[in-house]
Structure 1
Amino acid sequence: MIHIKMIHLAAQYLAAAGISFLDKKQDDSHTNLGFDAKKGYLETWPLNEGGCKIVFDYTQFSLHWITNNTARMTLQLDGKTHREIVKWMDEVTTALGRTKTYSYKLHYELPYGKMTDSFVFTKPLQRELNQALEFRRIAHRALENVVEKMKFDTNIRIWPHHFDSGGYETIKNIGLGFGMAIPDTMVNDFYLYTSGYSGHDGIDTSNFDEITFGEWKNDGFKGAVLPMQDVTEAKAITFFNESIRKYKAL
């Protein structure tokens, strides 16, 4: 799925901006990304007091420099090399009045091998970009709905390493992670997940009742999963509500 690779790699320039310019957080949250479901943007935290951000635009397959909620500069990624993108990022972030320079140095490994200066980005098919964006929108809106209705404290953010949209809440000494993951060795599709932990150990799900959409896994990963094909926002909300309530009832 080359389009997922291209989008995932593009998001790393935003994560690198967080690493370069924001105060380091112990939980690595300075690297995570927001999502503007209306505009279809992944976005950094504000990089200065003026609220400047770098965003990735799914539909255009481009990066924007945002000030006052307006795109001031844009870089189309199709055909650009890694070296050219890093140079652009360094140039636009001079507007931060920064004391640090932009540096593409990730402290985690991605599953695509080492990034080289000569790596060239190729724009995925428009239908692939649109589908990836729609999956992200459905998941994000469902997650926001569940967080609001259940009065959770977590924010829904995108973690650039594994590229999942997710939240984390502690309920009665159970750590609860829930969100949407990109395809991996367990599910060959974007998929929703809910998983509970006692300490670092996944909670056994073998005696959990069936849920309306999706299924419980208990081998390796312990939790509920639902592939995103044909999932609506309503189905996603039902999945999260039912799976989270199983853990809340323990």
Structure 2
Amino acid sequence: MVEPPSQNGEINMINNIGFNSWQNWDIEIAGKLADARRQLHFASQFIAAVGKCYLTHQPDDSHTNMCWEIQHSALVGRMLQGGEQCKFGISPTKFALLKISAAGDVTDAFTLSGKTMVQAENWVKQSLNVSGYHPDQFSRKMHYEIEPHAVDGGAPFSDDILAETTELGKYWGNAHLLISEINTHHPGASEVRCWPHHFDIALLITLNPNASPEQVKTIGVGLSPGDANYPLPYFYISPWPYPENTELLPSLTGNGFWHTKGWVGAVLTADKFPTDKDEQSQIKQLQRFIRSGIAASDQLLSAKE
């Protein structure tokens, strides 16, 4: 059984997060982020492609994923080891690709505004070559498809979406803080990572790690910046395996609701966040939702025993 944080745990989580790290969302523009999100998604594929081309492949595809690095306000890939140690990232607040040294310093950057995917790819290859990685080994072709955008056909990245990309950065940054705190409460939880296919940042709680793959039970907790399911950013908590009966699902708090089309999970969309721009209101509501979603998922999975 998963033990969700108590009411006191909620207060401790707020203190741990700290208001200096939390960035209030501007809920009024949450519905205007889709185009910027799709452009960032395409740009992030360079980070995933570096992992695909230069790192040892992992069965779960984790060599292609990213983490949120607070010091850079960026989604950053894993460290390359074959030449000079370095890693690549994408900063929503700068709308730029970053090259980061093993010491954590940004050694080069490529601003995306007004540039094309081809120009960005040339910069990535040049940066790899400088650090001793064969640029001809690089290919941005991935083994999955993402939502299309004109930038993939040669159109330049927009030069007037910095406010929107910065706002999206707040979602990944705040989600990283919240989900990392969940990680400390659940020893069976995975790393908090951003996955390049769906662009969500998430962790996975494994309830029975010693079970066979066919019997394993998990709870995924994450944030999507928006997708075909919901154009707005949304938090989700999803049990696996999904419950067979979705007619009677446990109640949720914090304005959450159940998604049952294609997958099953508790969802909280950005239009249901507090609009008063108060840190405590936003954090407390999200923690109520997360706590109830984890408890509900655990209840559903326990019923399968």
Task: Tell me if 1:58 matches 2:92.
Answer: yes
SS of the equivalent of 1:30 reads: helix
Does the aligned pair in 2 maintain the 1:62–1:77 contact within 8 Å? yes
Q: Which structure: larger Rg?
A: 2
Aligned mate of 2:234, from 162, 170, 191: 191
Alignment counterpart, residue 233 of structure 1, candidates 266, 283, 293: 283
CA distance 1:136–1:129, change in 2 (3 Å): same
Shift of 1:94: 1.6
Q: 2:239 corresponds to which letter in structure 1?
A: G
**Alignment partners' CA distance in 1, 2:198 and 2:261:** 20
Structure 2 counterpart of 1:26: 59
TM-score (norm 1): 0.90
Residues of 1 paired with 2:47 and 2:236: CA distance? 25
Please list the CA deviations of residues 7-46 of structure 1 after superposition, one character each: whole Å capped at 9, or x if unmatched: 1111111011101100111111111111113431110100
For 1:125-164, what per-residue CA distance to the aligned partner results, in whole angstroms no more than 9, with x for missing partners?
3321221111112211111111112223300100111101
> Hey, what does 1:125 align to over in structure 2?
161
| Higher RCO (C-alpha 8 Å, min separation 6) | 2
Residue 48 of structure 1, CA deviation = 1.7
TM-score (norm 2): 0.74
Aligned length: 248
Q: Secondary structure at the match of 2:203?
A: strand
User: What's 1:247 paired with?
Assistant: 297
For the 8 Å contact 2:116–2:151, the answer to whether it is kept is: no
Bigger proportion of residues as strand = 1
SS of the residue aligned with 2:292? helix
Partner of 1:216: 258
Distance of 2:294 and 2:85 partners within structure 1: 35
Structure 2 unaligned blocks of 5 or more: 1-33, 209-215, 275-281
Counterpart residue number, 1:81: 116
Aligned-residue CA RMSD (Å): 2.2
Gaps of 5+ in 1: none
Which protein has the bigger helix share?
A: 2
Identity of aligned residues (%): 25
The answer on 1:161 being equivalent to 2:197 is: yes
